[in-house]
Amino acid sequence: MGSQLGKTHQLSAGSLREAKREMESSGMMNESLNEIFQCAEEHFAKEPDCVKNNAKMTLHWNGKSLGGYQLA
Protein backbone atom coordinates (compact mmCIF):
# COMPACT_ATOMS: atom_id res chain seq x y z
CA MET A 1 0.00 0.00 0.00
CA GLY A 2 2.83 2.40 0.78
CA SER A 3 3.90 3.00 -2.82
CA GLN A 4 0.54 3.96 -4.33
CA LEU A 5 0.07 7.64 -3.49
CA GLY A 6 -3.39 8.93 -4.26
CA LYS A 7 -4.81 5.51 -5.03
CA THR A 8 -7.97 4.05 -3.59
CA HIS A 9 -7.21 1.10 -1.31
CA GLN A 10 -9.24 -1.89 -0.22
CA LEU A 11 -10.80 -1.02 3.12
CA SER A 12 -10.32 -3.50 5.93
CA ALA A 13 -9.87 -3.41 9.69
CA GLY A 14 -6.14 -3.89 9.06
CA SER A 15 -5.88 -1.05 6.54
CA LEU A 16 -7.67 1.29 8.96
CA ARG A 17 -5.21 0.35 11.73
CA GLU A 18 -2.27 0.80 9.34
CA ALA A 19 -3.44 4.26 8.26
CA LYS A 20 -4.01 5.24 11.89
CA ARG A 21 -0.50 4.04 12.89
CA GLU A 22 1.09 5.96 10.00
CA MET A 23 -0.70 9.15 11.02
CA GLU A 24 0.29 8.67 14.66
CA SER A 25 3.94 8.03 13.81
CA SER A 26 4.08 11.12 11.57
CA GLY A 27 2.56 13.34 14.27
CA MET A 28 -0.55 14.10 12.19
CA MET A 29 -3.02 12.41 14.56
CA ASN A 30 -5.15 14.61 16.78
CA GLU A 31 -8.04 13.85 19.12
CA SER A 32 -10.85 14.41 16.62
CA LEU A 33 -9.13 12.38 13.90
CA ASN A 34 -8.51 9.59 16.40
CA GLU A 35 -12.23 9.59 17.23
CA ILE A 36 -13.06 9.30 13.52
CA PHE A 37 -10.76 6.29 13.15
CA GLN A 38 -12.26 4.64 16.25
CA CYS A 39 -15.78 5.18 14.92
CA ALA A 40 -14.83 3.81 11.49
CA GLU A 41 -13.21 0.72 12.99
CA GLU A 42 -16.19 0.07 15.29
CA HIS A 43 -18.81 0.46 12.57
CA PHE A 44 -16.86 -1.32 9.83
CA ALA A 45 -16.61 -4.42 12.02
CA LYS A 46 -20.43 -4.56 12.16
CA GLU A 47 -20.94 -4.41 8.38
CA PRO A 48 -22.01 -7.56 6.51
CA ASP A 49 -19.34 -9.39 4.52
CA CYS A 50 -20.78 -8.19 1.19
CA VAL A 51 -20.02 -4.61 2.27
CA LYS A 52 -16.63 -5.39 3.84
CA ASN A 53 -15.45 -7.25 0.74
CA ASN A 54 -16.25 -4.32 -1.57
CA ALA A 55 -15.29 -1.34 0.61
CA LYS A 56 -12.60 1.11 -0.57
CA MET A 57 -10.87 4.07 1.07
CA THR A 58 -8.96 7.15 0.06
CA LEU A 59 -7.82 9.55 2.79
CA HIS A 60 -7.86 13.29 2.08
CA TRP A 61 -6.66 15.88 4.58
CA ASN A 62 -5.11 19.37 4.20
CA GLY A 63 -3.45 18.64 0.85
CA LYS A 64 -0.73 16.52 2.46
CA SER A 65 0.33 12.99 1.53
CA LEU A 66 1.21 10.27 4.01
CA GLY A 67 2.62 6.86 3.18
CA GLY A 68 0.42 5.15 0.63
CA TYR A 69 -2.51 7.49 1.16
CA GLN A 70 -3.45 10.73 -0.57
CA LEU A 71 -4.40 13.28 2.06
CA ALA A 72 -5.94 16.35 0.44
Q: Please tell me the predicted confidence (pLDDT) of residue 38.
A: 92
**In this predicted structure, what is the pLDDT of residue 1?**
42
Cβ proximity of 58 and 52 under 8 Å: no
Predicted TM-score (pTM) of the model is 0.67
Query: Taking a C-beta distance cutoff of 8 angstroms, is the pair 38, 24 a contact?
Result: no
Average the pLDDT over 54-71 and give the result: 65
Domain residue ranges of the chain, discontinuous segments joined by +: 9-70
Q: What is the pLDDT of residue 4?
A: 40
* pLDDT at residue number 46: 92
Give the model confidence (pLDDT) of 5-17 as tens digits.
456 778 888 888 8
